[in-house]
Amino acid sequence: MIEAEKHHAVVLKFGSSVLRSEDDLPSAVHEIYRAWRDGAQVIVVVSALGDATDQLLRRASRICEQPEPAALAALLATGEATTVALLGLALDRAGIPTRILDPAQAGLRTRGDRLDAELVAVDLERLRAELQQGVVVLPGFVGRGEHGETTLLGRGGSDFTAVFLAQRLGARCILFKNVDGLYTADPAAVSWGQPRRFARATWETAKRVGGGIIQPKALDFAAAHRFSFIIAAPWATVWTEIGAGPDEYATERTPAMPVRIALLGCGTVGGGVYSRLAALAGQFEVIGVSVRNRERALSVGVPEGLIVQDPEALIDKPCDVVVELMGGLEPAATLVERALRARRHVVTANKALIAAKGEHLIALAAENGVRLAYSAAVGGALPALEAVARARAAGPIRSLSGVLNGTTNFILDQLASGMSWDEAVRAAQEEGYAEADPSLDLDGTDAAQKIVLLARAAFGVNLSLDEIEREGITRIDAAEIARARAEGKMIRLVASCERTADGVNARVRPQHLPQSHPLASTAGIENRLLIEPEAGAPLLIAGKGAGRWPTTESVLADLFDIRWAAQQVSSNEEVEECIA
């Protein structure tokens, strides 16, 4: 994981070599989510998918041998616009708040040749405002001329856009390519020997040996402004920094082996996690899937040979990580303990388990030198635990409050639209937001379990569910919602905890919030968390808190973190062996 989290903002560029088709969009989402989860403000610059630009050029030439520049620029810009829209949809599916901007909205102004223009300005105020709302996605390669006309930045122009934006914003810049850095020669074109990878290279060296990997105009701009950036492949554990230098070759490493995964559970979330792991075969290897419902596992593409009936036997197989997505306290608690004692890392989305036994399991993981990761246990894609940890590191926290249960939020919205209680619950179940038995959502238990985890992260206390005052939404009907709206208020199930002179108090209850309240406008399955420190401005974060894909994204982020850490340990051991 490249350390975007240490920077206020990061610009991530995904070119056509890594976005070859729509099938590659989820991989870009994984990188974007990890940077956003780690607290960075994220701008994404994209190229057209695969050979889409070449296809558009061929279409143009079939119609007109020498296309007029204005018409050609307008046509080619549609390739980037399509990728932006598709990536926006993929981010929305993953539960990440996203803002899509076109070049005019971003104020990307150019001068010079309409098909090979130079960027000269950007609306920084607009960009910074949009970054407060979510991830910003922009097309590369495209700008607006002096009179508002569509202009292009030449081949590879999305490199230029990314470097330009990052330099103007004072942000980190990462150009994702289909190679893991800059080499002395193209690794794919060398028939003998092994080109050397640079750990660092000057702008001049990159221009000399880059072989078309980086647009020359982007390099010239970076050199003129003494701006450094990174070239990396998706899921990078190595990369090259392009900057002032001096040139430095990387220490050769043994290629990272796939992380071996034992998956317990293949329901709504488990099925999503399996499908993504199967698509990431170079990074992860699923060694088995333990399920109660064999047919359900087969329906999401799990091969017959990977299905295991005995979860304990699966944990005992050689593996690196056990992913527990069964839910409930038992047998999940027994299986997670077994995995930790066997020195397996564990990733889980099981809020009930972590709320009831988290203190014990965290200690057990530390005792055995492994990680227990549970980001997905609070709020799906909402990076709640990470945001609280960062806030606590910056200073004492006074209180937390949030809409942490997407199911109840969805049901309240359906009631407001005129549905009956039974219809609203059934709609939540049909959408995959509510279980067959939704009682833990409706009575506030689910939100209470999450506030236990957040109180532990914020205040270092271990509350029990019995200590939390809870009231669900079962007594709320459409008439009450209508009365609240007539008074300019919204009803939301709010979970909160605060530090007092007597300790930490926590509660879950429906609240009639004025429409100006930051939690009031939470819609559908969106979750929001308001963190109020003892000193400084409050922090509000948002993201989809229920459903297959938001929770899958959070589980995958934990797995990528474990993969990153394992590779760093392996690399350090190799260096120590060389020194010895």
List, by residue number, the catalytic residues: 450
Helix axes 25-37, 548-579, angle to 10 degrees: 80
By the 10 Å C-beta count (0-12 exposed, 13-18 middle, 19+ buried), 460 is classed as: exposed
In the block, tokens 């122009």 appear at: 157
Secondary structure in 3-state letters for 503-565: EEEEEEEEEEEECCCCCCCCCCCEEEEEEEECCCCCEEEEEECCCHHHHHHHHHHHHHHHHHH
CA angle 68/77/62 to nearest 5° reads 45
Helix (H) or strand (E) holding 47: none
Query: 109-111 and 98-100: which strand pairing?
Result: unpaired
Upstream peptide bond of 246 is cis (omega within 30 degrees of 0)? yes
Integer Cα distance of 141 and 57 in angstroms: 15
Helix (H) or strand (E) holding 345: strand 345-348
Integer Cα distance of 63 and 387 in angstroms: 53
Indicate left, alpha or beta for 404 from its phi (over 0: left) and psi (-120 to 50: alpha): alpha
The DSSP result for 258-289, as a single string, is: PEEEEEE--SHHHHHHHHHHHHTTTTEEEEEE
Show the DSSP H helices in 396-477 as ranges: 406-416, 421-430, 439-442, 445-459
CA angle 450/460/373 to nearest 5° reads 55
Upstream peptide bond of 139 is cis (omega within 30 degrees of 0)? no
For residue 76, the one-letter residue type is L
Integer Cα distance of 245 and 228 in angstroms: 9
Query: 109-111 and 118-121: which strand pairing?
Result: antiparallel
Shortest CA distance to 211 belongs to which of 192, 189, 238, 241?
A: 189
Helix (H) or strand (E) holding 66: none
Shortest CA distance to 340 belongs to which of 313, 354, 357, 361?
A: 361
In the block, tokens 């994981």 appear at: 1
Q: What's the maximum distance between 2 C-alpha atoms anywhere in the chain? A: 80
